[in-house]
Amino acid sequence: MSDSERPMLESPLPSDEWQWPRVHWHAFAVTPDSATPSNDRIGYRHRPPEAVLRSPWAVASWIDDQTRQHVSHREVWAAHGGEWVAIGDEEDLDHLRRENYGIAARGDSIHTDIYADLVRHELVVEAVTDEQCRHGCAAGTAD
């Protein structure tokens, strides 16, 4: 992504709800060979995060980076549109980045799957408040 695109995504925020409860996000990339099961949402709050994300932009960027590493570029049949659509291309990735940015701006968690060569990669970005955080990563500190 070029620097000229970044300000368009960062401003204006679609929502500032994430700021009031002092939310930050704990990020995890889970693959079939990961040691920890991926389906335990409460368990994520006890695990040390792989990354601590402090803004909606950081959330969208982390997911975008992880997605680009694993996504399969191909076309799939969209039954509701009755056409073949590309996934994993720049248009698709830009759409996903904007969607994830909007979700994070509401202070929400994001759990998503990426399939690459039939291997499932789960990306978990768990929203936590300072009170919920067990790892000492205060939301008010800078990126």
The pTM is what? 0.73
Residue 141 lies in a domain: no
Residue in 7, 14, 40, 13 with CA at minimum distance from that of residue 111: 40
Q: What is the pLDDT of residues 63-104, one digit of tens each?
A: 999 988 877 666 666 677 777 666 667 887 898 999 999 999
Residue 95 lies in a domain: yes
Residue with tokens 């008010």: 140
- CA–CA distance, 13 with 43 (Å, rounded to integer): 30
Residues 43-54 have pLDDT tens digits of 777 788 999 999
What average pLDDT does range 128-137 have in this prediction? 86
Q: Is residue 137 part of a domain?
A: no
> Residue 78 domain-assigned?
yes
What total of structural domains would you count in the chain?
Answer: 1
- Range of 50's domain? 6-129
